[in-house]
A and B are shown apart, each in its own frame.
Chain A
Amino acid sequence: MYTTELDKKAADSRVVEVGIDDPQQLARFEARVAADDFIEPNDWMPETYRKTLVRQMSQHAHSEIVGMLPEGNWLTRAPSLSRKAILLAKIQDEAGHGLYLYCAAETLGVSREQMIDALHDGSAKYSTIFNYPTLNWADIGAIGWLVDGAAIMNQVPLQRTSYGPYARAMVRICKEESFHQRQGFELMMHMVNGTPDQREMAQDALNRFWWPSLMMFGPPDDKSPNTERSMRWRIKRDTNDDLRQKFVDATVPQAELLGLTVPDPNLRWNEERGHYDFSPIDWEEFYAVVRGEGPVAQERMQARRKAWDDGAWVREAAASYETKHASARIAA
């Protein structure tokens, strides 16, 4: 997931900088995209398309990496050896997703180092969901079930996104995310069938993660001015509100199956619409979290920066060793 437009201001100012594209090339490009052709790294593309993609893909990559932190918080306390193995493997998958997406974004002429710098200096965003804390073991289940679940809603359509390397990355990532989603749901099921304490943990996790999960789909459509263009370019294939509704419709029956209560008194099936109605989202909170004021936003960034800074000497050593031995090989 994590591909919603969070830093619109930055994007818009960049759009202004962009020169006028050659109208003939632009027309050819638009026609290819409209025909569901894949655009490849060496193909001509409008500068705005490239920049929007770099932003969206790097934001997605950052989300995978930052998303390792809330789950990593429980890795050393996983309550059985098999749960520990499952969680370790899941977090490892997310690291792999991050790596895969950084590589795909690099095909657009930006380096991994540049993207990571942008994350660390706060100019790049990542999904708001990871700025919420994980407070009990059921949160690990709730994240798999809801967060990976929301990610899938958003990413399945992106398997047909117009940029080839991104679409291909999504195919592989989606497979693993659905596996995570099932594992998360299984963990929740185990918790609700457990002791009263475990049931309580599960309900508490749902209470805290429900609304932030709905916020993962980004601002409402009337506050997403670039949606129309992104959809025309097949960078986005559904609107935020459509995806959010789809997620609610799919998830509420699952909560019922778990015997848990979704924390929304206005949640009810609307026969006429064929959808669930739900309360309005607290957009004040959403925008505060986007601004970096989420409950543990500062801790998340501090942890990322610390890992990066602490590892600087290792990266330097590896580079120095490479250089030494590359020149030794040439000399030999």
Chain B
Amino acid sequence: MDKALFEYLLRLGDDSLVLAQRLCEWSSRAPTLEVDLSLSNLGLDLVGQAQLLLGYAGEVEGQGRDEDRLAYHRDAEEYRNCLLVEQPNGDFAQTMARHFLFSIYRELLLDELVGSSDTRLAEIAAKAVKETRYHAELASDWVIRLGDGTEESHRRMQDGLDWFWRFVDEMFAVDEVERVLIERGIAVDPAVTREAFDARVTQVVKSATLEVKPSTWPQTGGRQGNHTEHLSTMLAEMQVLPRRYPEATW
């Protein structure tokens, strides 16, 4: 089995799955019906990506685990998502700050992955990048609208960005697993997209009349399975039925 590729696919797939699960928590709670509809769209895209990526991961592993087996029967320390996506929703500004930072990172990454030497991964990336471009646009629009809206929304939007900034560096970190895949032309070195990320973020934040306050101590560990407290709680809820009834199919 290609262990590095399996790991890498889990990282990509878990990012999608965990963020989708967070967005599901917004159902019926959005500020307007229109927003409810658009958050569902984002969630549906991400569930779809998770199915493709985890499904492929299971095939690479070759142990008979499909996407559901991987989603529902791994514990938090076996999850490989970045810390940003597992953070609780907070208010709408926080959710948009999280989605904004993640989607821009992810769009730039997928843009590069379209050229991956692994054709299956390249195909998934080609589909996902279109969706993610829309996510980044939608989140950017909200960052601007809220930043440049009322005094209260400005304050909340700034708080949201401040709250999540410490999770940004982790998305661009590269460890041994990725180093190997980058050399094989399968994975993308996220460092090459960092400049573009900073430029995009700065531009949006500026038109939102907000500012980026870099944090001095970035939080990392998700890619290695060292998560924040929130993930295991989230998974306990998400996995309850398949764990309670392991014999059942759904």
| Residues in chain A within 8 A of chain B (CB atoms) | 65, 68-69, 72, 75-77, 79-85, 88-89, 91-92, 95-96, 98-99, 102, 137, 190, 194-195, 197-198, 303-304, 306-307, 310-318, 320-321, 324
Contacts and interface: CB of A to CB of B under 8 A. Distances in A.
A69 B28 CA distance: 7
A88 B152 contact: no
Interface of B: 17, 20-21, 24-25, 27-37, 40-41, 43-44, 47-48, 50-51, 54, 67-68, 71-72, 91-92, 144-146, 148-150, 152-153, 156, 237-238, 240-242, 245, 247-250
Contacts of A310: 29, 31, 91-92
A314 B72 contact: no
A91 B148 contact: no
A303 B27 CA distance: 11
28 contacts: A65-B28, A72-B27, A77-B237, A81-B47, A81-B51, A81-B67, A82-B51, A84-B24, A84-B47, A85-B48, A88-B47, A91-B27, A91-B40, A92-B44, A102-B33, A195-B247, A198-B248, A307-B29, A307-B31, A313-B152, A313-B153, A313-B156, A314-B35, A316-B152, A317-B146, A318-B145, A320-B153, A321-B145
A314 B32 CA distance: 9
A303 B25 CA distance: 13
Given A76-B238, A80-B68, 18 more contacts: A75-B24, A77-B238, A77-B240, A80-B72, A81-B51, A81-B54, A83-B250, A84-B47, A85-B48, A88-B27, A88-B43, A91-B27, A197-B248, A307-B29, A307-B30, A313-B150, A314-B31, A318-B145
B221 to A, nearest CB: 24
A95 B36 contact: yes
A49 to B, nearest CB: 27
Contacts of B36: 68, 92, 95
A226 to B, nearest CB: 29
A320 B248 contact: no
- 6 shortest A-B CB distances, which residue pairs? A311-B31, A317-B149, A317-B153, A314-B31, A79-B241, A92-B40
Contact of A317 (B48, B152, B247): B152
A263 to B, nearest CB: 24
Consensus secondary structure, chain A interface: helix
A324 to B, nearest CB: 7
Given A76-B237, A81-B67, A311-B32, A194 B152 contact: no
B250 to A, nearest CB: 4
Given A99-B34, A197-B248, A311 B145 contact: no
A68 B248 contact: no
A102 B248 CA distance: 41
Contact of A92 (B37, B237, B247): B37
A316 B150 contact: yes
Nearest to A325: B148
A40 to B, nearest CB: 25
Contacts of B44: 85, 88-89, 92
Contacts of B149: 316-318, 320-321
Contact of B27 (A68, A197, A304): A68
Nearest to B237: A76
Nearest to A315: B31
A185 to B, nearest CB: 15
B33 A95 contact: yes
B24 A88 contact: yes
B201 to A, nearest CB: 20
A77 B242 CA distance: 9
A266 to B, nearest CB: 34
Nearest to B67: A81
A320 B150 contact: yes
A198 to B, nearest CB: 6
Nearest to A198: B248
Nearest to B247: A195
Nearest to A308: B31
A85 B71 CA distance: 14
Contacts of B48: 85
Contact of A324 (B20, B35, B148): B148
B241 to A, nearest CB: 4
A76 B31 contact: no
Nearest to B148: A321
A163 B200 CA distance: 49
B24 A195 contact: no
A72 B72 CA distance: 19
A168 B47 CA distance: 32
Contacts of A69: 28
Contact of A79 (B37, B41, B145, B250): B250
A79 B242 contact: yes
A307 B31 CA distance: 6
B250 A72 contact: no
A314 B40 contact: no
Contacts of B241: 77, 79, 137
B174 to A, nearest CB: 28
Contacts of B145: 317-318, 321
Given A316-B150, A321-B145, A81 B32 contact: no
A302 to B, nearest CB: 12
Nearest to B54: A81
A320 to B, nearest CB: 5
